[in-house]
Structure 1
């Protein structure tokens, strides 16, 4: 499948220019069809029944989970289905046996979901070291290395910034963690949808991601673990192997982390989304977004009154670009783009308020985020409309 071929699978793009994929990606027809097939042809609970529908549903669900695991190169580990990245990170936060005096290292580039849970651990006596990027939004790897001490138990970093689009060197960070005996959690919410991911090659201990950002349904995601070393958040349902009035034994593998009925249709849909992206090719997705991002950055940077946030010359990046228009609140710019040209973007703090304050952007930014269905003509429309907005603002 080519990038050009896939656009027909996204009906919303016929009437709108959708540039808010970093928040929630559009869903192609094959993904919707896979979920509808479950609901209409073999809807049943999984892992519990012996009748024919339960057998089919269980088989399809487990195959789907394995396919999602394979998509991120995690065949050798354990994948627990979650509702989203936030829940996956929370499972790590609450699944480890923290002790007073433990340390966590993270960065100011993080989404609130990979920052606030660690700050909350301070209430339990855990110290949190936060590495700050420079004024342009670049992170110095040496600063992160200095923050990882001998008593640092875990490092939590984003793989790709949801504000600036820059991709962090997670393999190098994993090497630092190994040298210091620390575990590594990678927030892959923005990387799994946009660049090739191989968690085994990265060398992380935990990888968290969301389905709704990678062409899948909302309410789906995953927590990949190199070893199933976390205490489950919940027990009951299919998460136990046996139970008596005196206690219980947890099920092995993934099942111990999936108490209750999982999102069966959603997981099947997410597996279809992963297959859809594989049909295009993740390297193709990456190159497509890099070209669009470069075109957008160059176009916006040439406009009077428009400032592009982030590093001046970033290396690898996903298709996310943040900018501001002098004299206008980001929400105003987003509203005018919608009304004047049917261009849909995100505006505000992007759940990264500490980063916005650090970059001296108290109102946040306008964020345009592209994906497989985005065209160069749509990027040019955005640039031309912003030019007109900026001219009127001045």
Structure 2
């Protein structure tokens, strides 16, 4: 009989392997020596060692699925159970048991990782849904639309959840996008309608502006252009292409009018500046008539100056008050001199002044006599009263006498 630490071959050629449960028949060997039989089954044992080692490395270093790992372990265990090898089968069995535990641990780790990944994916998708629902009511059409498209790409990159949960979240996400798209479409449809209305209004404004461009009614037309500009701003914007074309026409019509007006006003300003120079010369000539010494000569000279003044024409608006004020000052001085002369030479006025003076003189004389009588009679109270009245009449008399002197005596 031939043997080694893990097996033996008996006289009949039967090969045994030693295990913790006792000897187990490995097989029968009739073709050669017992040593060759043991060597053959020992090589089969070495093959099992290699396979188990390879499986251990795959389990630890690759993403071998639990199912495939379990199948491979069961296959190897079956070979151990059948005892078709000579060697430490119990040690190999323990290695398979340890490998089973490792596979189970990896399975639990993967399960936990998958659950965590699922929770993270759910949280991420719920966050996307929440953001999409917030964007659904936004009026930032461009930025919100771009963000919603970005959210779709992010969604596609996330793992799927269980069918029910994934479908429910997708339904909310899709509904939010649809709601935003519907609102945006309605907004731009309304905006298009407003722009079309604006285009029609502005076409009318352009037509009127072009019709006014040749007007020479400078003031009212300029005022009307200001009103048209106000209406233009209030009308809102038309479609971009139409807006640019209409604005160019509108602005062009105004430019034609205001350029023509500017040329006319420039010519008028030059003429008025020349008129101002001529009127300054005339007013200087008029001012030399003051003070008036010869009223008749001054009046004739002023009449000549005024005729030339009226023939000159308009001066610049801002210079008008000063130059006309100087001329009016001379005119008022002449009028004052005429009034004084008239009063001095008016016979009726002189007679009225003389009559008034006589009446006042009589009243003064009478009051003076009454004062003397009252004092002589010892009635001082009455005398004082009459004296105060006398004082007032005397003041009037002095004023009348002064006025009478202005008439030459």
TM-score relative to the length of structure 1: 0.16
Q: Which has the higher contact order (CA 8 A, sep 6+)?
A: 1
**Greater Rg over alpha carbons, structure:** 2
- The structure with the greater share of residues assigned to strand is 1
- The structure with the greater share of residues assigned to helix is 2
